[in-house]
Amino acid sequence: PPERATPSCGLPSSLQQNQVREQKVYTVLGELRVRLDERKDHYWADIPALSSTVRVSQTVLRDWQNLLLGPGAWGSMEIEYDASYTLGGGIYPFYVREFRPFQITRISLDDYVAKRALFSHRQWRDLIVESIGFNPAQFTDRESWLYLLRLAPFVEANYNSIELGPRETGKTYTYRNTSSRSFVVSGGMASPATLFYNVATRKIGILGQKDVVYFDEIGSTRFTSPEATISVLKDYMQTGKFSRGGVEFSAQASIVLGGNIECDLARGEPARYYLHLFMPLPTELQDPAFLDRIHAYLPGWELPKIQRENYATGYGFMTDYLAEIFTRLRRRNFQIHVTSKVEFRGMTGRNQDAIVKTATALLKILYPHRTPESLLRSELAPSLDLAIECRQRVLDQLRTMAPAEFAGPPLREQVEFEPEAS
């Protein structure tokens, strides 16, 4: 058998192709993705390190089916060179015959859910906070809950939230590093082609590709064709659908608006010269119809600035593992956990949806092992309280902007627990 080369990583693709050709079998360290070519009824491996069309063995496909999902996986792979292989008149000499992943590629949500029952509420909450890069020992209970609320868009599809707060509280850090399925739109220009669909190239935008789209530095973000963009965005935030070029698309991306607001740090609240807490947003976003589609306003001014001692020091879930778990939790409907135990009296549908979606997301994060029957009222109540508070904050600002349209009793007065079954 040919002598195997030492693993390579970071070499130019042409050099790696030459190494494989000359040595016949070569070990490459890198990213591997697999796709089905339905026209040729054939699976191909995409290996950025080789920049070439590569065949893949059935053994690799059978053992690592997650290579067919989204971003694939990183690992070491044995590449074989066989110039005698042809398909449809073309020669395809490169062949992945073995793959050993670095990342976790076999994930069981059922196993994750079952293991949750082995932890107390506090242990599990601290584990999740540790897993997203922070040290829970440095935070109060309230602060830990707000960190969990940041994760709501990762586990609940079509969830819309906003967080404005001081600089350096870890907003961008969380949304950039928690999952590869999130996308950070940095302050700048955002166009319909980028967000929704590029009619010229016929490519779907980031809302159709990602689980979470985070608009960073939202105060300095500018939208090309603002009226058209905001109109489509409003429709999407309400229905999960958007139309471009005469074609309608459905997507599940959650939208998060993040940015800075001047704060009185001594008081732990926004500066008092703001007429309302949406003032830092661009003018085109200060539209009550748009803002009413936000499910929760997270009070970022209550979270501390990140210092060295705030970063995680203990063990947590691996990032790629937790990101995949969060994606799978999106497919589970926990709304019955809330609606079966809570009665909404005289509340508008939009307010009810906002509260249910926020409470549902927190329950997925904290109590994924609970059924509607086994969920305790004491477990639901804190999530429900935070959901009501964060939706009420949205309504309070809208009431300042349009008093006649958003008048009404406090949301807490319209929510009651159903009587316990005897």
Of the two residues 135 and 53, the one the predictor is more confident about is: 135
User: Looking at the predicted structure, is the pLDDT value of residue 422 above 60?
Assistant: no
Summarised one tens digit per residue, pLDDT across range 365-400 is: 999 999 999 999 999 999 999 999 999 999 999 999
Most confident stretch, 15-19, 244-248, 313-317, 350-354: 350-354
- Tokens 């603002």 identify what position? 226
User: Looking at the predicted structure, is the pLDDT value of residue 86 above 90?
Assistant: no
Please tell me the predicted confidence (pLDDT) of residue 227: 87
% of the chain at pLDDT higher than 90: 65
User: Looking at the predicted structure, is the pLDDT value of residue 1 above 70?
Assistant: no
Strand-strand pairing, 73-81 and 94-101: antiparallel
User: Looking at the predicted structure, is the pLDDT value of residue 68 above 90?
Assistant: no
Instruction: Please check whether residue 345 is in contact with residue 416, taking contact to mean a CB–CB distance below 8 angstroms.
Output: yes
Please tell me the predicted confidence (pLDDT) of residue 7: 45
Please tell me the predicted confidence (pLDDT) of residue 421: 59
Please tell me the predicted confidence (pLDDT) of residue 322: 94
pLDDT class of 75 with cuts at 50, 70, 90:
confident
